[in-house]
Amino acid sequence: MTTLTPLQVLDAAGQGTELPLPTELARLYGSCRLPLRAERPYVMGNFVTTLDGVVSLNIPGQAGGGEISGFNTHDRMVMGLLRAAADAVVVGAGTLRAVPHHVWTAGYVYPPLADAYRELRNALGYTEPPLSVIVTSRGELDLSLPVFQAGEAPVLVVTTDRGADLLKQRPLPPGVAVVAGVSEGRLTASAVLDAVQRVRQVGVILVEGGPHLMGDFFAEQRLDELFFTLAPQIAGRDKTTERPGLVEGRTFAPDKPLWGALVDIRRAGEHLFLRYAFPTAHQ
Ligand SMILES: NC(=O)c1ccc[n+]([C@@H]2O[C@H](COP(=O)([O-])OP(=O)(O)OC[C@H]3O[C@@H](n4cnc5c(N)ncnc54)[C@H](OP(=O)(O)O)[C@@H]3O)[C@@H](O)[C@H]2O)c1
């Protein structure tokens, strides 16, 4: 139970299967539909940015999404809802390094609703938490971190041949698996999705970034939809520290601009919770 006020629904044109939200989650979020398809997994992203497009302050100890959203509880509630609805949560190693103590479960990100998230997962037929998928070329991961050691969720590291060799030099913690999706270099978004589907039958995949991984998913048009929280702060930029936006390492406009369709608008105080659908390579 939480004292959080419900999101104000300004426009909800989203189509698809209605999630069987438990009473408390339905009160807070309203109805939530995901356009699930039988033939392939539905891939959704979730990000929070400032009004001036900053997704990370990139300051040690202050590089997470919390500083961007203002540690907004509604944002955490939505993050938890999306994790609870997902078979797998995918993040790049850069995001793990920025928030090394994080664990990618619904209950971790918003503990007051842990029971409601569990109830939703049960209703969706899930028997365990979402698979935490960590994407890395180099494979230089600290296996003592909670995501690997806490046993809160099974973990799949998707990496290169070299990365896999490096990781397998040490005993892997229980529940942690490593697969090589490419011999060397960066993994394509398709290779990441294929690797996930090899270990788990998936219907919904949540990509929580960061910006370099997000760039790969956009570049290959493998993202069906972006859940996008707009936090009402101006973070600013100068030449001392690079402050990334939603996508890094790729450009699209003007040659191949990616335009989204706004399918849902909700509000909590001054924060906006938006959903944009994007055309995928399959359409
Ligand atoms: N505001 C938000 O909603 C939000 C969301 C997520 C992240 N962030 C922030 O974004 C910052 C991190 O940015 P980032 O761009 O560095 O994040 P990132 O994409 O998570 O990390 C980049 C690193 O992840 C691995 N990686 C990503 N894509 C890969 C691919 N296709 N193939 C192989 N490896 C891949 C590589 O790791 P190796 O170097 O190990 O090879 C790469 O150096 C952090 O401050 C984080 O808190 C903010």
Nearest to 213 by CA among 177, 188, 183: 188
pLDDT at 243: 97
pLDDT at 283: 61
Backbone angles phi, psi at 155, to 5 degrees: -125, 140
Any idea what the CATH number is for the domain that residue 177 is in? Answer: 3.40.430.10
Q: Which residue's alpha carbon is nearest to atom 31 within ligand 1?
A: 187
A 10 A CB-CB count for 132 gives: 26
Q: Tokens for 229?
A: 């929280």
The answer to whether residue 255 sits within a structural domain is: yes
Nearest to 280 by CA among 219, 215, 208: 219
d(CA 161, CA 179): 8
Helix axes 73-84, 114-123, angle to 10 degrees: 30
pLDDT at 36: 80
Q: Which atom of ligand 1 is nearest to the CA of 46?
A: 3
The answer to whether residue 198 sits within a structural domain is: yes
Nearest to 229 by CA among 31, 42, 54: 54
State whether the beta carbon of 263 lies less than 6 angstroms from ligand 1.
Answer: no
The number of domains in the chain is 1
pLDDT at 228: 98
d(CA 156, CA 282): 25
Q: Tokens for 124?
A: 């969706």
The answer to whether residue 51 sits within a structural domain is: yes
The answer to whether residue 32 sits within a structural domain is: no
Radius of gyration of the chain, Cα coordinates, nearest whole angstrom: 18
Q: Which 3-state string (H, E, C) describes 50-77? A: ECCCCCCCCCCCCCCHHHHHCCCHHHHH
The answer to whether residue 29 sits within a structural domain is: no
Range of the domain at 94: 40-57+68-277
141 close to 172: Cβ distance less than 8 angstroms = no
126 close to 169: Cβ distance less than 8 angstroms = no
Q: How far is CA 237 from the centre of its chain?
A: 25
State whether the beta carbon of 92 lies less than 6 angstroms from ligand 1.
Answer: yes
Q: Which atom of ligand 1 is nearest to the CA of 93?
A: 24
The answer to whether residue 234 sits within a structural domain is: yes
State whether the beta carbon of 161 lies less than 6 angstroms from ligand 1.
Answer: no
Q: Tokens for 79?
A: 């993050």
Best residue for ligand 1 mutational test, from 102, 212, 218 (most atoms within 8 Å of Cβ): 212
pLDDT at 41: 94
Best residue for ligand 1 mutational test, from 48, 55, 58, 178 (most atoms within 8 Å of Cβ): 55
pLDDT at 98: 96
Regions of the chain where pLDDT drops below 70: 1, 283
**Secondary structure letter of residue 277 according to DSSP:** E
pLDDT at 85: 97
Task: Report the separation in Å between the CA atom of 211 and the middle of ligand 1, taken as the mean of its atom positions.
Answer: 6
The answer to whether residue 26 sits within a structural domain is: no
The answer to whether residue 10 sits within a structural domain is: no
Task: Report the separation in Å between the CA atom of 121 and the middle of ligand 1, taken as the mean of its atom positions.
Answer: 27
pLDDT at 13: 78
